[in-house]
């Protein structure tokens, strides 16, 4: 073989090796992304332990932890209660937690409160449930430029302590940065947010991820949930969300749609899967989620959803069947919002009676937990 031909031959071999390596790197990255989608699929369907560890504005002064836990009309959480959630077919429990009521002026979390949170998490882990814990009703993360620096400092302070508490817990425990961060009390509160608010939320999400990752242990690999402005699923909020450079990020949304049926007490009790006006908001949501996140290997959990009870069980079941089928198709996980309490029928998301450990609406429970 001539000298020149030999040189060309070596160059060709080199290019092939480079291309194969590049392809391997690309496939490796895609596999990592797909791991996250597969992980969320394994989480199945979830249930929220709402209005329990997230009570706020209680006016209480250093009471025992269970007093706060029961302040909004729920019983103290028990192992038997969590076992029933697992036995009913749920694979995930989301435990909303308010921390601001249990922190001193320096941001140190009360040891008794942390112990109680730990106890409820352990009930759930021991029942082999995936567990999501968050910061809920903690208005210190108000998303404005004026509040940004102190919000980031508190974000670091709070998640430093939570991360240290659960540093040895594996993938069955997930952290969620914030619950519905929004401009409370303004005309923009329930919109997709101002540009300023969206930017601050992106910064807060970044600070959350960095804080957890830097804490080491299992936290360096733990799956982390981040919200959009107000956890909104509207396109303006979805498009504004910046995903941190981290392969174990999950987007968290709250979607009670369509509003007049699912959330508005004074809205309609009718819903029909054959009516485009009833289904289009769900359809648009799932299309946007697919294109903006899932197709890019970024999983999405709708960590709160549901339809209030208007004594319209058949309509709720039809709505749920449609919503769940769409979510399953796009590999989006759902977690039902259940605020509990002892209220009777009407204006409630409650499907499980925590006092009697009985399912108020077993039909909804069965549909939620039914395998696709």
Say whether 180 is catalytic.
yes
Question: What is the Cα–Cα distance from 46 to 330, expressed in whole angstroms?
Answer: 17
Give the active site residue among 304, 314, 318, 330: 304
Q: How far apart are CA 312 and CA 350, in angstroms?
A: 14
Annotated active-site residue in 69, 101, 176, 180: 180
The tokens describing 212, both together, are 């957890």
Best CA proximity match to 54, nearest among 44, 68, 64 = 68
CB neighbours (10 Å) of residue 195?
9
CB atoms within 10 A of CB 28: 10
Residue corresponding to tokens 């289009």: 280
Beta strands 333-336 and 352-353, pairing class: unpaired
CA distance 129 to 123: 9
Instruction: Count each helix (H run) and each strand (E run) in the chain, helices first.
Output: 11, 10
Burial class (CB in 10 A: 0-12, 13-18, 19+), 73: middle
CB atoms within 10 A of CB 89: 15
Cα-based distances in Å from 207 to 37, 105, 153, 244:
23, 21, 9, 10
User: Cβ-count burial of 323 within 10 angstroms (0-12 exposed, 13-18 middle, 19+ buried)?
Assistant: buried
Q: Active site includes 105?
A: no
Whole-number Å distance between alpha carbons of 216 and 219: 5
Which secondary-structure segment (H or E) carries 363?
helix 362-369
Beta-bridged to residue 305, according to DSSP, are 336
| Among candidate residues 119, 33, 46, 70, the one with its CA nearest the CA of residue 298 | 33
Task: Round to whole Å and give the CA distance between 184 and 164.
Answer: 30
DSSP state of 353: E
- As annotated, the active-site residues are 180, 304
């Amino acid at each position: 073989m001539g000298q020149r031909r030999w040189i060309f031959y070596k160059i060709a071999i080199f290019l092939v090796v480079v291309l194969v390596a590049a392809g391997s790197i690309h496939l490796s990255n895609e596999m990592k992304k797909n791991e996250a989608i597969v992980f969320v699929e394994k989480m199945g369907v979830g249930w929220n332990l709402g209005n329990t560890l997230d009570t706020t504005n209680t006016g209480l002064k250093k009471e025992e932890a269970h007093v706060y836990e029961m302040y909004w009309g729920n019983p103290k959480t028990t192992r038997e209660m969590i076992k029933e959630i697992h036995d009913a077919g749920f694979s995930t429990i989301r435990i909303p937690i308010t921390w601001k009521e249990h922190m001193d002026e320096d941001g140190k979390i009360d040891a008794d409160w942390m112990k109680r949170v730990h106890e409820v998490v352990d009930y759930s882990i021991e029942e082999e449930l995936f567990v999501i814990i968050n910061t809920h009703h903690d208005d210190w993360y108000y998303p404005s430029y004026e509040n940004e620096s102190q919000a980031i400092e508190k974000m670091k302070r709070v998640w430093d302590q939570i991360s240290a508490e659960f540093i040895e817990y594996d993938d069955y425990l997930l952290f969620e940065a914030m619950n519905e961060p929004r401009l409370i009390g303004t005309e923009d509160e329930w919109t997709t947010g101002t540009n300023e608010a969206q930017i601050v939320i992106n910064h807060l999400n970044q600070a959350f991820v960095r804080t957890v990752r830097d804490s080491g242990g299992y936290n360096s690999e733990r799956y982390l949930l981040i919200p959009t402005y107000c956890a909104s699923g509207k396109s303006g909020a979805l498009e504004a969300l910046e995903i941190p450079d981290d392969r174990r990020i999950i987007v968290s949304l709250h979607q009670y749609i369509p509003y007049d049926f699912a959330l508005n007490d004074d809205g309609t009790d009718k819903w029909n899967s054959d009516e485009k006006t009833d289904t289009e908001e769900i359809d648009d949501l799932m299309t946007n989620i697919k294109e903006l996140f899932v197709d890019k290997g970024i999983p999405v959990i709708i960590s709160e959803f549901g339809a209030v009870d208007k004594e319209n069980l058949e309509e709720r079941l039809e709505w749920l069947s449609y919503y769940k089928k769409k979510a399953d198709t796009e590999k989006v996980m759902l977690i039902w919002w259940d605020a509990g309490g002892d209220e009777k029928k009407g204006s409630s998301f409650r499907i499980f009676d925590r006092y009697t450990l009985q399912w108020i609406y077993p039909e909804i429970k069965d549909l939620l937990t039914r395998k696709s």
